[in-house]
Amino acid sequence: MKNKRSIVKSAALIFLASILLTMLVAFLVSRVIIDQLYINQRWLVFEGISESIEGTIDNYPSHEWVFSYLLDHLDDELDLDYEECEEAREKERDFVSRHNNQPLIGFTQEQVESFSEEDQKRFAELVYNQWIVRMNDLLQRFGFSYLSIFASDDTAAEKIFLLSASDGQCERGTGKDDAFLFATRMENDEQQKSELQVILSGEDKYSHYDAAGHLSFYSKILQSGDKSIIITGTTSNADTASKMNRGLVIIVGILALLQAISATLCMVMFYHFILKPIRSMSRSVVEYSRSKETEKSKEALSRIRSRNEIGELAADFSNMIDEVDAHINEVQRITAEKERINAELSVATRVQAGLLPRTFPPFPDKKEFDIYASMDPAKEVGGDFYDFFMPDDKHVAMVIADVSDKGIPAAMFMATSKAFIRNRTLMGGKPSEILYDVNNQLSADNMGEMFVTVWLAIIDIETGQGLEANAGHEHPALRRAGGSFELIKYPHSPMLAVMKGLKFSDHEFVLHPGDRLVVYTDGIPEATDQNEELYGFVRMMESFDRNKDLTLEEFQAGVKRDIESFVGEAEQFDDITMLVFDMKDKNQK
């Protein structure tokens, strides 16, 4: 008995040492992994933000001139608008009207340089406002504490802030916690200088700085004279790190307690159920090892007559053989059930496809326009949908939408949303009025807490006059006859099904013969390759322009080929849906 107790004590000490070592290693490794995962996740978000800002800036052919002008007028009193407002829009309308109604994004550097000094100043101020509005949107969308663009020379001694985003709650000024005013200067400490030198020297496009509970990321976008123009984003990790540490301590403590309890139970069971009847069990094992067949194995186990746990274990093992046979039959049944479910999903896919218009051209007797659409779900069924129909002989209504989830729940919510929108549109009214009523219907019993982004437009096919409402959806892309695609940006209204009583805004537009309008879901700009890089709006617009002269069906096929080429072997992340509308001359054959 003493020897047996000694074995139990030795095993208990081994278990205890293993628990302590395992917990220590788990805590240290988990801490390092979680910290790195947090930094990597924030880094990826910043890279996406940086690419989005750089893409927005690159869309302006005169962007290098704008930065040069800002740097040359740091000490001047510029009339800058830091938020989107009616006054800024009025300034833009006045400026554009005086320059042949050409949008700001279309002016080349040569054109700007030919302006008067007053118009050059106004142009720089207007472009500055458009950029700051975009940065404000990105700051709020991705949860960064600060998002700015600053200039720095090769010494990296100081930062000269040019654009500094605000979420509407941050004061603007020159203090440490402010959203900086234009031309605010701030000295860099040695670590900041070191990190900035990485991108200033061209060693890498990105760098980051971790100090005092904040992560700051840097990305150089261009060189203006002796100054490098750099995007920086800062996010606070103090609260997150504290919560992660507390969570780790709790989890490791629970695991340690569970392992201690488990080890104690194992020791007790080991002593009472294993050590004492070990000889009897060994004889049974020898008998089992000699009889490889099932019946012989069960016969050998039945000869163990012990009334203690070993006897029960032998009986359970004998019963387990029968249970294994039953388990095999159950696996076969489950496999058949899975095949049945897959077959039902296939039917659901076809049913969903049947809910969307699939006949093209849909209105062959209408010569004023042409339309084509497609939807490729990420799963068997998806949450995107599109629709188009003619509420009367003079108008065509178009809808594209994206439900917040995927799979069967999203498909059900999609079918409901589509039916509500179509039925309400047929009753007449402006898009904003239609979305107001539909939002109230969807919000009334939204148990799944889903929401849906919607773009709805009604177009007069005789005059090309259109009215659209955008409920949190992507900006449409428009190509005027003979031109290139541009994003038509205007303030979004709220998404549907979030809250009853929300108001929505209408936006007027005009389509002329030869114009092409493209609406899409975020599955295109947010398509992701194996390196977690987003397809982005820049690549999307390049693809639109590359395929702009093709037919509607060929246009969509070309865009999808470009996306597939970029994504490669990566799994499709989200539903991809496009709706393309061409305005035609009804008298042209």
* CATH number of domain containing 415: 3.60.40.10
Bridge partners for 457 per DSSP: 398, 468
Same-domain pairing of 245 and 220: no
Residue 588 lies in a domain: no
| pLDDT tens-place string over residues 135-182 | 888 888 887 888 899 999 988 889 999 998 887 666 677 766 678 888
Rounded-to-integer distance, Cα 184 and Cα 177, Å: 13
Q: Are residues 441 and 369 in the same domain?
A: yes
Report the alpha-carbon distance of residue 387 to residue 400 in Å, rounded. 7
Domain for residue 313, yes or no?
Answer: yes
The percent of the chain in helix, strand and coil, each rounded to the nearest 5, is 50, 20, 30
Whole-angstrom Cα distance, residue 269 to residue 470? 67
Spatial distance between the Cα atoms of 99 and 90, rounded to a whole number of angstroms: 14
CA atoms of 184 and 173, how far apart (whole Å)? 8
Residues 215, 303: one domain? no
Nearest Cα neighbor of 158 from 100, 87, 269, 74 is 74
Q: Are residues 443 and 363 in the same domain?
A: yes
Joined tokens for residue 335: 């496999």
Tell whether 284 and 215 lie within a shared domain: no
Mark which of 212, 236, 260 sits at the end of a domain: 236
pLDDT for res 474: 95
Is the residue at 148 inside a domain? yes
Within a domain: 352: no
Joined together, the tokens standing for residue 563 give: 């996306």
Backbone Cα Rg of the chain: 33
The answer for residues whose C-beta is within 8 angstroms of residue 501's C-beta and 6 or more apart is 440
Q: Where does a domain end: 182, 212, 236?
A: 236
Boundary of a domain, candidates 236, 264, 299: 236
Look at residue 292 in the predicted model and tell me its pLDDT: 46
Per the structure, the count of domains in the chain is 4
- Low-confidence residues in the chain, pLDDT < 70: 1-12, 15, 23, 26-36, 38, 168-171, 175-177, 209, 211-213, 237-249, 252, 256, 259-260, 263, 266-332, 334-354, 380-381, 588-589
Run of H or E including 54: helix 2-58
Q: What is the pTM of this model?
A: 0.46
Kindly state the DSSP code that residue 114 receives in the 8-state scheme.
T
Structural contact between residues 228 and 156, judged by C-beta atoms closer than 8 angstroms: no
> Looking up tokens 């397809």, which residue turns up?
535
Which residues are within 8 A (CB) of 547 and not within 5 positions of it... i.e. 6 or more apart?
554, 555, 558, 559, 562
The reply to whether 270 and 292 lie within a common domain is no
Judge whether 133 lies within some domain. yes
Q: How far is CA 274 from CA 13, 279, 314, in A?
A: 18, 10, 12
The reply to whether 261 and 286 lie within a common domain is no
Cα–Cα distance list, 277 to 272, 311, 316 (Å): 9, 9, 16
Same domain, 169 and 99: yes
DSSP H helix total and E strand total for the chain: 14, 18
19 in a structural domain:
yes
Q: In terms of DSSP bridges, do strands 507-510 and 516-520 run parallel, antiparallel, or are they unpaired?
A: unpaired
- Domain containing 520 equals 357-583
Domain co-membership, 504 together with 572: yes
Cα within 13 Å of Cα(13), Cβ side: 5
Please indicate, yes or no, whether residues 100 and 140 belong to a single structural domain of this protein: yes
* Residues 158 and 187: beta-carbon distance below 8 Å: yes
CB 357 within 8 A of CB 388: yes
**Quick one: pLDDT at residue 471?**
95
Whether residue 253 lies inside any domain: the answer is yes
Question: Distance (Å, rounded) from C-alpha 571 to C-alpha 502?
Answer: 36
* Pairwise CA distance, residues 551 & 567, whole Å: 24
Based on the fold, state whether residues 404 and 329 are members of the same structural domain: no
On whether residue 294 sits in a domain, the answer given is yes
pLDDT at position 326, please?
Answer: 58
- Beta strands 214-224 and 227-236 are antiparallel
Q: Residue 526: exposed, middle, or buried by beta-carbon count in 10 A (0-12, 13-18, 19+)? A: middle
Distance CA 284, CA 207 (A): 67
424 and 521 fall within a common domain: yes
Beta-bridge partners for 180 = 173
